[in-house]
Amino acid sequence: MKQCLFRFLFGCWLIHFTVFPLPAQTPTPTKTQELPSPMGTLFDGRSFDIGRFFAGGLELQQKEAQYAASEQKWSYWQAIGSYKAIISEYKPALAAFDQLSRKRKPLAAASPLNDYKAVPAVEAIEKLAATHQIIFINEAHHVPRHRAFTKQLLAKLYRKGFRYFAAETLDEVDQELNQRKYPLEKSGTYSHEPVYGDLLRTALKIGYTLVPYETTVECEETEAEPNKCIKVREQEQAKNLFNRTLAQDPKAKILVHAGYDHIKKDVFFEGVPSMAVYFQQLSGVTPFSIDQVGMMEHSSTEYENPLLADAVKQNLFAQPSFFQAKDGSYFVEEQNRKSYNAQLFQPPSQYQNGRPTWLLENGQRFFQKIPASWCRGSFPCLVRARIASEDAQAVPLDQVVVPAADRLPALVLPKGTFHIQVLNQSGKVINETEIKVK
């Protein structure tokens, strides 16, 4: 029987294997002494505690060899990838998930992109907003850069009349989110990650109404209906999205940020229609669907889609781009042309001070040096920066691990006043201070 691990905490990992295919022949795992659940080491059910999370991740890393040789190796790499993304170690997050991927062969023939022209994706989406009521865009849950791209769209789409922002991370736990105007760590399943938290914060600041649409319906799969819960989840997500937007406001314009294949305009998994399909059936509105996952950056080009690797090698684009045909349509791989309207290509991340430069948001944020003294001799430590005027449980604007006194990364922050909290390896708060970025 197929099982979904931590369905409402990190979605259905079974589905993610369709995005990150396993090798054709997988070695039989070595029997090892019983190891605790990797996700259970990080999380206590639905709640999120940063101290437990940080300490649990360090513990998991120390047991890498044991997990890698065990029957839990797949859930281990998923947990490590999620852990690394949340503590802002983006390259290791990609590397962890690439443990679940097969290496890709380079293109054997001329790239089909040679018949297309690269166009700036943000500008293209802004134009599309004039003629589309619903825009769906996806993410890989361990890739905060996808959230940063969606954030770039918010103000431009708002000017085009978009007023609802629906995000897969949200459920009905945080009833005060739209009134408070910033997320807490309890607000969503993915949004305790700083880039996602600021995506929500920015949407609220601009004026969007945030829409939770995750299902809360309990479900149990059987051998007779192995995909029952997958179908239930897709249907319930679509119902919630429709009932909380177009059913009440038929002319509403909606931006939906979802995970992986939920935005496909055909089959989600093994014949089960996607949330987007069910939503279209309910609403009668055809969404414009943008895929960020198929052409995303990996830890190495050998894991990337060869079309992306070749486009980077040929310098075909220099910013987040679509590839446009002469008829105005956008490139989508042949096998996905019924699923998406466009696929996003992003150039490789560039790093300064140990951080990707896309965090700088075109000059809106700045590097803030971290003094070794903040860690009080306890390394590695986790340094977190939240907006000083927000609640103590608010999602931080940035957080980063300081591995050693002679290896000091930088925070990336806008102008303002921030409360700094520092945690040691045990997850205990060892320092707190306040800084101003001018």
CATH assignment at residue 408: 2.60.40
Within-domain flag for 13: yes
Q: Which of 7-16, 142-151, 292-301 has the lowest mean pLDDT?
A: 7-16
Please tell me the predicted confidence (pLDDT) of residue 234: 95
Please tell me the predicted confidence (pLDDT) of residue 206: 98
**What is the average pLDDT across 235-257?**
98
**What is the average pLDDT across 134-158?**
98
Count of domains forming the chain: 3
Q: Which of 22-26, 159-163, 220-224, 292-296 has the lowest mean pLDDT?
A: 22-26
Please tell me the predicted confidence (pLDDT) of residue 33: 61
One domain, residues 206 and 127: yes
Please tell me the predicted confidence (pLDDT) of residue 29: 54
Q: Is the pLDDT of residue 159 over 50?
A: yes
Distance CA 199, CA 215 (A): 21
Q: Is the pLDDT of residue 10 over 70?
A: no
One domain, residues 337 and 196: yes
Please tell me the predicted confidence (pLDDT) of residue 435: 98
CATH assignment at residue 314: 3.40.50.11550
Within-domain flag for 352: no
Place of tokens 């340094």: 383
| Boundary (domain end) residue, out of 308, 343, 378 | 343
Q: What tens digit of pLDDT does each residue of 325-367 get? A: 999 999 999 999 999 999 999 999 999 999 999 999 999 999 9
One domain, residues 91 and 194: no
What is the residue type of 12?
C
| Region of 395 on the Ramachandran plot (φ > 0 left; ψ -120 to 50 alpha; else beta) | beta
Name the percent of the chain lying above pLDDT 70. Answer: 92
Q: Is the pLDDT of residue 20 over 70?
A: no
Q: Which tokens in the block code for residue 42?
A: 């990080």
Q: Is the pLDDT of residue 243 over 90?
A: yes
**What is the average pLDDT across 375-399?**
98
Q: What tens digit of pLDDT does each residue of 37-51 get? A: 999 999 987 689 999
One domain, residues 207 and 280: yes
**Domain span at 153:** 112-343
One domain, residues 168 and 251: yes
One domain, residues 297 and 221: yes
User: 6 pLDDT band (50/70/90 cuts)?
Assistant: very low
| Boundary (domain end) residue, out of 98, 127, 147 | 98
Please tell me the predicted confidence (pLDDT) of residue 397: 98
CA 323 to chain centre: 23
What is the residue type of 230?
I
Q: What tens digit of pLDDT does each residue of 404-428 get? A: 999 999 999 999 999 999 999 999 9
Contact yes or no for 161/253 (Cβ under 8 A): yes
User: 34 pLDDT band (50/70/90 cuts)?
Assistant: confident
Within-domain flag for 355: no
In whole numbers, what is the pLDDT of the chain averaged over residues?
A: 92
